[in-house]
Amino acid sequence: MKCEILNNNIKLDKPFRYFLGELYELPYSKVVITDNNGVVGAGEVAHAIDINGELQEGAKYFAPYVENALSSFLSVDSVADISVIMENVRLLIAHNTGLMCGVEQALFSILSQKKGENLTQLLGKNNDTTIFIQTTIPYLLSLDEYKNTINKIVNENNPKHVKFKVGKNLELELSAIQYLSEINKMVSISVDANQAFDSADKAITFSNALLDLRVAWAEQLLHKDNITGLRELKAKTKLPVMIDEGLHTPLEAEFYAKEKLADYFNIKLAKTGGILNALEIIRIAKEHNIPYMLGSMLQGKLGIEYNLGFALSQDFVTNDFFSYFSVEETKNLNYINPNLTVTSQSLYGEK
């Protein structure tokens, strides 16, 4: 099998603001694998220096290493084949989890075409399922802008769960969360700081301010390596804590679970290196009774379809596909209906 890695710049419909910056386009890559019968599979590589440490400029240099891992296979005929190949890929391009995910996706694409089954079916889920997609509100610049955005979301989408990006202007963000909490008492709310807080004391003060606002959990308030601060946070607030940037591998999942440092896991395929590693993290979460959500990067069509297919195969507490609002090529995906649900009627892979 042959592998090609191409630059794939995905333009955002509107800027996306979060703690570490402001994005106008996604400098991603695309993995294209062709088997010996000419079947072509493609996968999206999400690069994010703050999430998986990867940059578009380096991805293309890994194509020979991926081909090396593919060299013993003419094609893929089972999920077990993909598992063996991905073990070799992980040895050759260690820590490049976004690229690993793109390789795995391309292999599943080939298998999907050969088997005539979509991704959800390949993962063992055949019955129709409906999932609900949470709404994410990025950093906004004024309370009026927050109120207008919240009113539009509540009136048009009737969301079950809304996540606020926080950490830039805490007073403004708390006011926005309070506004949503007051106008819609049914919606579930969470916050995501993307490691914004530089001390446990600040994180604790902010967490405690959220307790009266019906916030379900706080996601990655502290830097992923600040384990001492995380222990203090867990000891001094009743607000449940979700781990995101700190969770990449099953080994890390075991650590957070056994140390009782996580109330929720945020699983992202661009962090885990794909579905197969994510399934191992889910196994650990179930063993320790830790609920888990499926997060996503800002993604294009390829990436969002892969996430959606995986979402329908598992029992995630919520699903985060914010790029549906931000990436032009995903705005008209015909299987996402206006109230933000998706069904298995149309999914990644052969139908």
Predicted local confidence at residue 325, as pLDDT: 64
Amino acid in position 62: F
- pLDDT exceeds cutoff 80 at 343: no
How far apart CA 31 and CA 105 sit, in angstroms, is: 9
12 against 277, higher pLDDT: 277
> Rounded mean pLDDT of 281-285?
98
- Does the pTM surpass 0.85? The reply is yes
- Residues of the chain with pLDDT > 70, as a percent, come to 91
Strands (E), 215-327: 215-219, 241-243, 264-267, 292-294, 319-320
How far apart CA 36 and CA 1 sit, in angstroms, is: 6
Q: Using the CB atoms, write b or e for 216-237: b if 16+ within 10 Å.
A: bbbbbbbbbebeebbebbbeeb
Phi/psi zone of residue 310: left (φ > 0), alpha (ψ -120 to 50 degrees), beta? alpha
Question: 148 pLDDT band (50/70/90 cuts)?
Answer: very high
- pLDDT exceeds cutoff 90 at 43: yes
Predicted local confidence at residue 333, as pLDDT: 67
Predicted local confidence at residue 156, as pLDDT: 82
**Which residues have a Cβ under 8 Å from the Cβ of 116 and sit 6 or more positions away?**
350
Segments in 198-274 forming alpha helices (H): 200-209, 227-236, 250-258, 269-272
Kindly list the distances between the CA atom of residue 38 and the CA atoms of 2, 76, 179, 285, in Å, as whole numbers in the listed order: 10, 12, 55, 39
Q: Domains in the chain, please, with CATH?
A: 2-117 (3.30.390.10), 122-343 (3.20.20.120)
Give the length of the chain. 351
